[in-house]
Amino acid sequence: MEVLYNTNSVIMCQRKFARDMLSEFDSSNLSVTNSPLPHHLQLKVHEGPAIDDPLRCRKHVGKLNYLTHTRPDFAFDVQFLSQFMQDARLPHWTAALHTFSYVKGTLSQGLFFNNNPSFDLEAFCDLDWAACPKTQ
């Protein structure tokens, strides 16, 4: 974890961890994407062909989960992918690689804390536009 101090703020990020993670999984050939997962993605359990190395997929999603400590921007997506790790299939692996592409393009993002004495709460929400098949 990196902590960068400024006179008015502190930034926490895991840039080195993300770089190491990308090199460990040989993600150099992945193109950069601007979203952690496609908004229309519909994954299901036991759907699609089995993958050769399900342990690799679990490690992949586990490292993404650790990265969410300073990257809440894709915490929902990693939690969503985690649901399918018991029996990881090719569509799940493809979705995880998409998330790696997002991390590759956003290595320097992290948590920003300023020293403003205001206690105003600011919150943001990212909706999935009712994409869950269980609620439709």
Edge-to-edge strand list for the sheet holding 111-114: 2-5, 9-13, 111-114
User: Would you say residue 132 lies in a domain?
Assistant: no
Residue 5 has φ and ψ, to the nearest 5°, of: -95, 140
CB 111 within 8 A of CB 13: yes
Closest CA to 21 of 78, 79, 65, 60: 60
Average pLDDT, the chain: 88
User: Would you say residue 127 lies in a domain?
Assistant: no
User: Would you say residue 71 lies in a domain?
Assistant: yes
User: Would you say residue 55 lies in a domain?
Assistant: yes
* Residue-wise pLDDT tens digits, 21-54: 999 988 878 899 999 998 888 899 989 999 998 8
Q: Which residue has the tokens 């050769």?
A: 52
User: Would you say residue 66 lies in a domain?
Assistant: yes
> Does the pTM of the predicted model rise above 0.75?
yes
| Type of residue numbered 47 | E
User: Would you say residue 120 lies in a domain?
Assistant: no
User: Would you say residue 135 lies in a domain?
Assistant: no
Q: Which residue has the tokens 């992290």?
A: 110
User: Would you say residue 129 lies in a domain?
Assistant: no
Cα separation, 121 vs 59, in Å, equals: 35
| Type of residue numbered 1 | M
The tally of domains found in the chain comes to 1
pLDDT-based confidence at 136, cuts 50/70/90?
very low
pLDDT-based confidence at 70, cuts 50/70/90?
very high
pLDDT value of residue 130: 56
pLDDT-based confidence at 3, cuts 50/70/90?
very high
